[in-house]
Homo-oligomer: A and B are copies of this chain.
Amino acid sequence: MKPSIKINEESKWIIEETYFNQEWLGKYESIMCQGNGYMGIRGTTEEPYLGETRNTFVAGTFNKFDENEVTELPNIPDLIQMTIKVNDKALDLSKGEVSQYKRSLNLKTGEIIREFHYHLEDDSELAFRFSRFVSMDQKHVISQKVEITSVKGNNRIGIDSGINGQLTNSGSQHFSEGAKHLFEGKYIQMTSETSQSNISMVETTVHEISNAANLSSRIEMRRRQVFNKYWFEVAQGETAVFEKFSNIHTTRDKEHEGKSVEDIEKHGLEELVAVLASGYDTLLTNSAKAWDKEVWSVAPITITSKDHEDQVAINFAKYHLHVMTPAHDNRMNIGAKGLSGEGYKGHTFWDTEIFMLPYFTYTHPEIAKSLLEFRYLGLEGAHKKASGNNYEGAQFPWEAAWIEDGETTPVWGAADIVTGKATKIWSGFIEQHITSDVVYGVNQYVEATGDKEFLETKGYEIILDTAKFWSSRLEWSEEDSNYQITDVIGPDEYKEHVDNNAFTNYTAKWNIQKAIHIYEELKENNVEKFNELNTKLDLDRVYADWLDRVDKIFIPAPNEDGIIPQDDTYLSKKIIDLVPYKEDEQVGTLFHEYNLEQVNDMQVTKQADVLLLIYLFENLFSKEIKLDNWNYYEPKTMHDSSLSLSTHSALAADLGELDLSYQLFKEAIHIDMGPHMTSSDEGIHAASLGGIWQMIVFGYGGVRVLDGQLRIEPHLPENWDNLVFSIFWHGTELKVTVTKEAFEVEVISGEKEVTFDHKGEQYSVTDKQVIKLI
């Protein structure tokens, strides 16, 4: 099959589909997902197809179907679908003869346009043009337009459109049947309540039809559905325009706190009356302006590459990062699939801090702060998890949903191929590095922004509280006279129940070291804060433990070949030839032949583990050690997680392996944008999108913070002539322009002097400075 995702060569803002293939619905639904952080709607076609996944999610509206399931983002009643009949036959692109087909998502404005000519058996011909967007300006509003032109013949059109609440999350229904209302004969409203969390979703929609002859309509209320049915005629040469405006408000919205459902219903209706008065084009202009103001004008990235796709990739990544991120509410965070699919149930993982957060920290620090405040607000759940496991302090949940929920990882997963029984998902129990990952994100944010206010009100407490957890987590080994961390899963999830995973032990120790430093710093310089936190967290007692234990934590050291053992037993396991599986287009094919238990006994790594440690803490290791470990681990790494390739690409760039790095960059940007037409079915890969930014700014831009100090060491891949990017450093925007020969650092806003390191030398810049690379 020839894959059909196309980069428009004339625009760095357009991704396109140039012919319709029903087998690939899921791909386009995910990569053309629209939203604004408040809501996300998959890029489904208006007319329904078998195999589609029609999802609309509102961030933070978690609900638990029953006691056997974990809480998840519910798929709310659909507003997008229209069943369209042409001369009494359903419009269906998989059947009719179709020409001039094109579907495109404009990343700059967020608008999807779908155009085609539809040829009927009787030689009639119609031109359809669908457009729609989710407003970035009015976060509750969705606008749709369908233009129908009779190119040949006079044609009769029927459209059923309204609100459909028969959808589920793969069979789990989160809503009671909604209450239905009709106002002024045209405003349809349905209010549905989640079954366990009791969140009410108020959805309102209205249609406007122009230039339609002999228009008639009728409302139909069915079970969980309200539709308006329209019939009209379009004479040859005429164009009828069918518009639909909708909005969504919920009782979870901060702006509606304290309001009754009736008040919210009234508000939704009033807003929609005004929206209808504005019309599609005005709404689109305002939304595009908001996109520009909030996203595109902020820290823009320009890549001059022989391959046009590279620039599209970063635009694509930024588009989706803003579609999926609930920047408006610090009680919410980013799901592993954003708001673009049911995969991972809308839950937040370490993906946020390690993969997506850096983008926000360096370009939208206020959003980064909000995402970290979510962790602060989540301390309650983290305490619950720690004490439930007989630990002290704050142990962050592997999967987080609503702030108070604590751990929400499901306990049972897919079937074991050998036994046929469902496998236990251990991550929620023993994938414990999430706790130091959160601290890594806090530390990076504070170092890059210098946000003392956040540090004092929230950051200190997170770091101290998590160190308390780690200290209680350590296990004393009489045999080895050291503290160990046994029975964990590290970043490499193909190794369950391992002892002393290098990544886990290193970061746990680092977390405690950070806490020791903060304790001493506060006690010395901020007695009031110290006393407050000392009382709250019993610091004096735990500080003594920290001091006693920190140097006795077992840290796997490089062996005689320079290899850092991934864990106590990894290096003694069987080595198999992975080439056939690595070359397979599908991810996870290893498991068609081995079960998890068997893979556990091989030197096979799912994703960067030791190499991630090296990437995140690069000044801990010599270049030689880095290379040795790269050469050892990369061939054993399946990259079966979308979190793996970008780390490897950036690390390869660090190591000067630019060709290899660029090859990995290409693989990484193809995770969603590439030719694997089913890999994004369950949603877009959020971490991978954050990874695209990291590969560019950290990998090729060479930006890093080492011990609180900004470092810039750019190195462009062969294909690139020029890279321009911006970062915010302590509130100052720095524009960095890189060529193969030199790079320029320019202070764009703010008047502070910025100091950075380049190849061991310190530079200070207040205006701009050019540094030669060769």
Contacts and interface: CB of A to CB of B under 8 A. Distances in A.
A517 interface: no
Nearest to A68: B176
Contacts of A419: 182
Contacts of A90: 22-23
Contacts of A50: 48-50
Nearest to A1: B88
A170 B166 contact: yes
B177 A221 contact: no
A217 to B, nearest CB: 11
A165 interface: yes
A348 B640 CA distance: 54
Given A176-B68, A422-B180, A219 B417 contact: yes
Contact of A422 (B171, B221, B224): B221
- Most chain-B CB neighbours within 10 Å: which of A182, A183, A421? A182
A215 to B, nearest CB: 15
A171 B167 CA distance: 6
A50 B92 CA distance: 11
A65 B422 CA distance: 27
A592 interface: yes
A173 interface: yes
A180 B170 CA distance: 16
A759 interface: no
A218 interface: yes
A173 B172 contact: yes
Given A66-B176, A95-B95, A420-B182, A415 B171 contact: no
Nearest to A167: B171
Contacts of A22: 90
A166 B172 CA distance: 7
Nearest to A226: B415
A220 B591 CA distance: 12
Contacts of A170: 166, 222-224
Contacts of A219: 415, 417, 420
Number of copies: 2
A69 B166 contact: no
A180 to B, nearest CB: 6
A543 to B, nearest CB: 47
A172 B176 CA distance: 8
A422 B190 CA distance: 12
Interface string A402-429: 0000000000001101011110000000
A258 interface: no
Contacts of A592: 218
Nearest to A165: B171
A399 to B, nearest CB: 16
A181 to B, nearest CB: 7
B176 A168 contact: no
A513 interface: no
13 contacts: A65-B173, A68-B176, A92-B94, A94-B95, A95-B95, A165-B171, A170-B223, A171-B173, A172-B177, A173-B173, A180-B415, A219-B415, A219-B417
Interface of A: 22-23, 48-50, 65-66, 68-69, 90, 92, 94-95, 165-168, 170-173, 176-177, 180-183, 185, 195, 218-224, 226, 414-415, 417, 419-422, 592
Given A172-B177, A185-B420, 17 more contacts: A48-B50, A68-B176, A68-B177, A166-B170, A168-B171, A171-B173, A171-B223, A172-B173, A181-B421, A182-B419, A182-B420, A182-B421, A219-B415, A220-B414, A220-B415, A221-B415, A222-B414
